[in-house]
Chain A
Amino acid sequence: MSNISGRYAVVGVAETKVGKRPDASTHSLHLECIKACLDDAGIKASDVDGFITNQPLNDAHRSYAVRMANMARMHPNYATDLALGGATPIAMVQNAVMAIEAGMANTVMCVHARKRGTPDPSPGNPIRHGDEHWEEPWGHFSAVANHAFAAQRHMYEFGTTSEDLAHVAVATRKHACMNNNATMRKPMTIADHQASRFICEPLRLFDCALESDGGGAVIVTSAERARDFPKKPVAILGMGQHHPHFSLMDAPSLTTLGGKKSSELAYKMAGLNPKDMNFAEIYDCFTITTMITLEDYGFCKKGEGKDFVKNGRIEVGGELPVNTHGGLLSQAHIEGMLHVTEAVRQLRGNEVEPERQVKNAKAGIVSGHGGSLCMHASLILGAL
Chain B
Amino acid sequence: MSETSDKRGRAIARVKPFLEELEAKPFWANLREHKLTAQRCNACGKFFTFPPQGSCPHCLSTDYEWKQLSGKGTVYSFVNYHRAWHPSYEGKTPYNVSLVDLDEGPRLISNVIECPTEQVKIGMPVQVVFEDNEDYTLPKFRPA
Contact = CB atoms under 8 A, between A and B. Distances in A.
Contact of A201 (B7, B13, B79): B79
A141 B1 contact: no
Interface in A162-203: 197-203
A132 B13 contact: yes
Interface stretch (A233-241, A243-251, A309-317): A243-251
Contacts of B80: 198, 200-201
Given A141-B13, A152-B77, A119 B50 contact: no
B9 A115 contact: yes
Contact of B9 (A57, A156, A203): A57
B77 A122 contact: no
B2 A136 contact: no
B5 A139 contact: no
Contacts of A131: 51
Nearest to B85: A141
By size class, the interface of chain B is 35 or more
Interface in A95-137: 115-116, 119-128, 131-137
A133 B14 contact: yes
A211 interface: yes
Interface stretch (B39-47, B65-73, B102-110): B102-110
A249 B82 contact: no
A145 B98 CA distance: 10
A299 interface: no
B66 to A, nearest CB: 17
A301 interface: no
Contacts of A199: 82-83
Given A145-B97, A247-B51, A119 B79 contact: no
A127 B4 CA distance: 10
Most buried by A among B79, B83, B94: B79
B144 interface: no
Contacts of A142: 85
B95 interface: yes
A137 B17 contact: yes
A140 B14 contact: no
B17 A133 contact: yes
Contacts of B81: 139, 145, 200-201
B113 to A, nearest CB: 10
13 contacts: A116-B8, A116-B9, A125-B2, A136-B15, A137-B15, A137-B17, A137-B138, A139-B86, A140-B97, A150-B77, A198-B80, A200-B83, A249-B99
Interface of A: 56-59, 115-116, 119-128, 131-142, 145, 148-150, 152-153, 156, 197-203, 211, 247-250, 254
Given A134-B50, A134-B109, A148-B79, 7 more contacts: A116-B9, A133-B17, A141-B86, A145-B81, A149-B77, A152-B122, A250-B49
